[in-house]
Amino acid sequence: MATTSSMSSLLNIKVISKQGITRPFGDHRTVKQAFPAGISSDLSDPFLMCDYFDMKETNGRAKHPDEFPIDWHPHRGFDIASYLKTGIGRHGDSLGNRETFDTPGMQWMSVGSGVEHAEGGANDKGVLVQGFQIWINVPGERKMDDPRYGTVPTKDLPLVELNDRVCARVLAGNILGVSGPFKTVQQVEMVDFELKPNALMEVEIGAGLDTAIIYVYEGSIDDMNGSGPLEAGTVVLMDADSSDRRGLRLSNFSDNACVMLFAGKKLNEPIAWHGPIVMNTQEQIRGTLNELRSGTFPPKRVEWDYKRLSAFPPTDKKQ
């Protein structure tokens, strides 16, 4: 953490907005969305989506190893992270991965040319599952890279104590003296800050990063760079264009608070977005849909039926 004397000038605030409410599961369940509902994708570039969920498990554990409550679905053309703060994470994909992970922890994919995956089903009924689904765009020339995958248990997720009132989990990027485990294509920094009452924190975003977003997802912040109070659900777009203004200063007095920092380098490329597919042109979207219809998606996958655990080679079987 930078001290006051070594801090660059503070970032100016461009937009103060509120999170939106969306229904990504197609049923009654809702999530809170910082972007694009709060900050549009042209302003949040390279960040595409941030969904925050905080709900109790209603169905309990999956009764069969091939059962996932978030069923198999495709992705192409971006990086994605499932960061869980409570509960147990569970994941399967077309690369032959079957993993569970403790929390706080994360499962991430650079989906590239395409993956199919499914999630959930590891928690008992009534368990609180709190976390984020975060999508980050990648340059057009990298959208058809071979997919990559990683699981990050609690012990491998860097935890930094800024002082006795503030701690931070670094998800991605080189910041606060550590390197986050989410290896994104585009240069970004993603940090989850937890502040106790009477906290003060100061941090600088990395040089060259020209997008910066603060999301207050729990509690409230009394002051951030001279503006406040900022209640839970507030999304703030900072002006990160100046090389001289890189600093953030947050304080809160009477409330615990949780804040996510998203900083990244803009792509400034056209976006063609169709559900879980993010490309540069509609022609590329149509090509992907044709692959899905013809059964040739994803182009890189294991040789066995990755949707059936019984089809896995013996050494690769995991729940």
Q: What is the mean pLDDT of each run of 10 residues along the chain (319 residues)?
A: 54 97 81 97 97 93 94 97 97 96 97 97 96 98 98 96 97 97 97 97 96 98 95 98 95 94 98 97 98 98 96 76
- Report pLDDT for 24: 80
Give me the phi and psi of 43, to 5 degrees please: -90, -25
Q: What is the CA radius of gyration of the chain?
A: 20
Q: How many residues does the chain have?
A: 319
- Report pLDDT for 196: 97
- Report pLDDT for 6: 47
End-to-end CA distance of the chain: 40
CA dist 84 → 5, 188, 197 (Å) = 35, 19, 23
- Report pLDDT for 240: 97
Cis, peptide link before residue 298, omega less than 30° from 0: yes
- Report pLDDT for 47: 98
Helix (H) or strand (E) holding 196: none
CA dist 98 → 174, 304, 318 (Å) = 29, 13, 5
Phi-psi region of 152 (alpha: psi -120 to 50; beta: other; left: phi over 0): beta
- Report pLDDT for 4: 37
- Report pLDDT for 316: 64
SS3 call for 154: helix
- Report pLDDT for 65: 94
Nearest to 250 by CA among 274, 270, 273, 230: 230
CB–CB of 274/281 below 8 Å? Answer: no
pTM above the 0.85 mark? Answer: yes
Phi-psi region of 228 (alpha: psi -120 to 50; beta: other; left: phi over 0): left
